[in-house]
Amino acid sequence: MSAPFQLPHAQALRIPCVLMRGGTSRGPFFLASDLPSDPAARDRVLLAAMGSPHLLQLDGLGGGNSLTSKVAIVSRSSRPDADVDYLFAQVAVERAHVDLSPNCGNMLSAVGPFAIEAGLVPAVDGETIVRIYNSNTGALVESAVQTPGGIVTYDGATAIDGVAGTAAPIRLGFLQAVGSKTGALLPTGLAREAIDGVPVTLVDYATPMLLLRAADLGLAGDETPAELDADAALLVRLEQLRREAGRRMGLGDVTGRVIPKVGMLSPARRGGSLTSRYFTPDRCHRSHAVTGALCVAAASRIAGSVAAEMLSPETGSLVTIEHPSGAIQVDLSLDAAGQVTRASLVRTARRIFEGNVIVPASTILALAERAETGGELTHDDHAPPSLQPDHGRRGQHLPA
């Protein structure tokens, strides 16, 4: 193991965390100060905590699915325009791989409540605005959290498709989402182009995406995720298109990476604006990612784009994207030129469990040995926030 994160006498680690649902995703939330400062050591801890690599992640907190193999790392921000920094980590299920390149808007919806209850942001009576800086993409987001009496409440009457029951609304306003990874809304400068004969739009708003029409792949566009996941030829075809899209967008070789994502679009069926099947990228999302919804909505306002072609003519500033579990609504604010200046939506969150995740020393040492001997442990480069090492603390309590 590399300094400053050693495991003397092979002691297991007890690391404080809170398991939270954010939108339609779930995962542990950590304070940055409770994780090792060295990125490689931190990744080994996250892999061990989630139980990767393993199909079912039986030996960790992961749920054997990309939607439940996510991690949020939160710290107080030094930026004048933000209260907290949020670093998202997508932990691969069957590979020893941690991807820091994307943001996750669903997990982001739980950052505000977590930050308040961790003592990073003081609550006010009624509603507390938490200004969040996403370290992965550089995006600034305002999260409006319900805090009657200065206390975070999770109970409420707001329902989101893909999650059972109702909860308190959390309003997310994305202030700087253009060019999240490429620096431009249209990285190639084109609203529409062709990859291997398929018309596509390559767009980067909140997350880089390859958008295409379902009909161009011989599909209706309202197929179930199970049907799409079972179509091996389709998944191979999408991956080929995605890799070329990544190259054109300036992302390099995206093999094994989760961006750009793929959105397969078709007309709306249930009174919405359009239909989307969002790929993560090797499986179809059971509902829809928040950042993906923002990107599809923004693309629908680009003249000549694949998304604009699918858009219902009566759609106003509120874009309703139909997905396998229902729909997600994105409210766009446009300037005089029709450019998106802000995108907002509503999510919910729940605090599920709090305590310590126990990371066996033997697991971390095995992952470290694999990395040192040229094994599969990989990590997408990204400058993380300043983290501080944990030194095997036991029995600690998280802030209220």
- Name the DSSP letter for residue 197: T
Residue pair 349/25 in contact (Cβ under 8 Å)? The answer is no
CA distance 85 to 207: 18
CA distance 337 to 315: 18
Residue pair 40/46 in contact (Cβ under 8 Å)? The answer is no
Q: In the predicted model, what is the mean pLDDT of the chain?
A: 89
If you average pLDDT over residues 227-234, what whole number do you get?
Answer: 97
pLDDT at 379 over 80: no
Band of pLDDT at residue 106, cut at 50, 70 and 90: very high
Band of pLDDT at residue 11, cut at 50, 70 and 90: confident
Q: In this predicted structure, what is the pLDDT of residue 368?
A: 66
If you average pLDDT over residues 13-35, what whole number do you get?
Answer: 96
Residue 100: name the closest of 92, 89, 91, 108 by CA: 89
Q: What percent of the chain has pLDDT over 90?
A: 77
pLDDT at 367 over 80: no
Band of pLDDT at residue 338, cut at 50, 70 and 90: confident
Q: Is 194 exposed, middle or buried (0-12, 13-18, 19+ CB in 10 A)?
A: exposed
Residue pair 264/279 in contact (Cβ under 8 Å)? The answer is yes
Report the phi/psi class of residue 190: left, alpha or beta, with left for phi > 0 and alpha for psi in -120 to 50.
Answer: beta
pLDDT digits (tens, 9 = 90+) for 141-186: 999 999 999 999 999 999 999 999 999 999 999 987 899 999 999 9
Q: In this predicted structure, what is the pLDDT of residue 151?
A: 98
Residue pair 333/342 in contact (Cβ under 8 Å)? The answer is yes
Place of tokens 């858009």: 311
pLDDT digits (tens, 9 = 90+) for 263-284: 999 999 999 999 999 998 889 9
pTM for this structure?
0.81
Band of pLDDT at residue 225, cut at 50, 70 and 90: very high
**Torsion angle (degrees, nearest 10) of CA 114, 120, 121, 126:** 40
Cis bond before residue 53 (omega within 30° of 0) = yes
